[in-house]
């Protein structure tokens, strides 16, 4: 709460979770597609991506879930933080224009 009694709410950064479908992760955080490809998980554009969770995909491809999830979450976090910075930069200045 500020001195005027206004309450500010911070934007919540959401991250991919193991139970989310591969398709949902890639749609919500497009930057994570590179992670799937780097781990040789060619789920991009495949119909099974709409059914497999991240956990199931890791199991099917023999990939360590914890390692993969950390990498995917780091990519998602970075894209959200850069998105917030761009959003802030797009806001007009509160200062009046000089004449």
Q: Helix 54-61 and helix 65-90: axis angle, to 10°?
A: 140
The tens-digit pLDDT sequence of the chain (99 residues) is: 556 666 655 556 688 999 999 999 999 999 999 999 999 998 888 898 999 999 999 999 999 999 999 999 999 999 877 765 554 544 444 444 555
Whole-structure pTM value: 0.71
The pLDDT score that the predictor gives to residue 6 is 62
The pLDDT score that the predictor gives to residue 40 is 94
C-alpha span between 54 and 35 (Å, rounded):
12
The pLDDT score that the predictor gives to residue 90 is 45
Domain positions in the chain are 22-81
C-alpha span between 43 and 58 (Å, rounded):
11
> Buried b vs exposed e over 30-60: b needs ≥16 C-beta within 10 Å?
ebbbebbeebebebeeeeebeebbbbbbbee
């Amino acid at each position: 709460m500020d001195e005027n009694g206004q309450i500010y709410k911070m934007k919540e950064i959401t991250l991919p979770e193991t139970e989310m479908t591969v398709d949902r992760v890639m749609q919500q955080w497009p930057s994570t597609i590179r992670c799937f490809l780097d781990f040789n998980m060619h789920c991009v554009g495949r119909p099974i991506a709409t059914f497999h969770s991240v956990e199931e995909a890791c199991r099917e491809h023999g990939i360590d879930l914890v390692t993969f999830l950390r990498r995917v979450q780091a990519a998602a976090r970075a894209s959200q933080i850069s998105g917030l910075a761009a959003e802030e930069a797009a806001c007009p200045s509160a200062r009046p224009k000089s004449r």
